């Protein structure tokens, strides 16, 4: 590695350290598959080996760039409170679908039904905007509004998803275990920011790091979104 490469590598480590990416969970919560990614345990808390995290992130970024260059869809999944805002912002930045709330069972394994519910929501919204709900009673319109609000809460991030995505980017694979299980059943690659309590063997591109703090989560989501944007820009340049 030449001096320029070393500076880039050191800068990446500094960035990871500055957002607290090195903090895992308590040693007692560690999943065996994360053991090789731990540098030390201090005060009972696992500390990630940041050079490994840096390299894993770079590998994930390259995969995401390839997805974008191929025009494929990446689904962002970050349903917990600390991740929802970042997941939505990152996905919207690159025009990708997202789940920033509760994962609905069957989103991948029963996608046809999920798509039907999304289409129903869009139909109701369109009818309301065109003033076509006047034929219903006030009580019926109120019930329709409530149903639309419920569906929007569940599916607003999936409106653009016409079919199964090519891959998932997940924040906290343990918390999003249902999404991970569905992706595995459909043979979809999984990228995940995964802390020391996660089973890394389930993830195709695991990024071992702090998946609990907003600052760390935002950092990694932005990195993945930027990789997608760069891959798409490269595709456009090639054209």
pLDDT of residue 6: 57
pLDDT surpassing 70 at residue 238:
no
* Mean pLDDT for the stretch of residues 11-31: 95
pLDDT of residue 134: 72
**Residue in the block written with tokens 């920033």:** 100
Question: What's the full length of the chain, in residues?
Answer: 239
pLDDT of residue 8: 58
The arrangement of strands across the sheet holding 167-171 comes to 98-99, 74-77, 167-171, 190-194, 205-208
pLDDT of residue 17: 95
The rounded mean pLDDT for the chain is: 93
* Mean pLDDT for the stretch of residues 144-165: 92
**Residue in the block written with tokens 């260059």:** 69
Return the C-alpha torsion angle 84, 198, 24, 176, nearest 10: 10
Beta bridge partners of 227: none
pLDDT surpassing 70 at residue 42:
yes
* Mean pLDDT for the stretch of residues 144-157: 90
Q: Which residue has the higher pLDDT, 175 or 153?
A: 175
Domain with CATH 1.10.287 in the chain: 111-158
pLDDT of residue 142: 87
Q: What is the largest CA-CA distance in the chain?
A: 74
Domain with CATH 3.40.50.10490 in the chain: 28-108+164-238
* Mean pLDDT for the stretch of residues 122-137: 81
Phi first, then psi: give them for residue 194, nearest 5 degrees. Answer: -135, 125
Nearest CA to 215 out of 23, 5, 2 is that of 23
Task: Name the class of domain 111-158.
Answer: mainly alpha
pLDDT band at 140 (very low <50, low <70, confident <90, very high): confident
Does the predicted TM-score (pTM) go above 0.85?
Answer: yes
CATH of domain 28-108+164-238: 3.40.50.10490
Percentage above 70 pLDDT, the chain:
94
pLDDT surpassing 80 at residue 44:
yes
Task: Give the pairing of strands 167-171 and 190-194.
Answer: parallel
pLDDT surpassing 90 at residue 139:
no
């Amino acid at each position: 590695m030449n001096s320029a490469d070393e500076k880039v590598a050191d800068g990446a480590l500094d960035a990871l350290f500055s957002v607290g990416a090195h903090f895992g969970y308590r040693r007692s919560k560690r999943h065996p598959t994360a053991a090789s990614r731990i540098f030390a345990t201090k005060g009972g808390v696992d500390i990630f080996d940041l050079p490994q995290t840096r390299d894993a992130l770079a590998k994930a970024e390259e995969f995401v760039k390839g997805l974008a260059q191929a025009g494929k869809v990446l689904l962002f999944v970050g349903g917990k409170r600390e991740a929802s805002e970042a997941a939505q912002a990152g996905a919207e930045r690159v025009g990708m679908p997202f789940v920033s709330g509760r994962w609905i069972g069957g989103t991948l394994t029963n996608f046809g039904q999920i798509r039907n519910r999304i289409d129903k929501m869009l139909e109701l919204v369109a009818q309301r905007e065109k003033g076509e709900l006047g034929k219903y009673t006030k009580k019926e319109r109120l019930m329709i509004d409530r149903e639309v609000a419920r569906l929007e809460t569940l599916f607003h991030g999936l409106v653009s998803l016409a079919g199964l995505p090519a891959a998932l980017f997940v924040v906290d694979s343990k918390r999003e275990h249902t999404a991970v299980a569905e992706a595995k059943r459909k043979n979809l690659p999984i990228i995940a920011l995964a802390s020391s309590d996660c089973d890394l063997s389930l993830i195709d591109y695991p990024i071992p790091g702090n998946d609990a703090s907003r600052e760390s989560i935002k950092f990694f989501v932005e990195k993945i979104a930027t990789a997608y944007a760069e891959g798409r820009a490269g595709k456009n340049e090639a054209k």
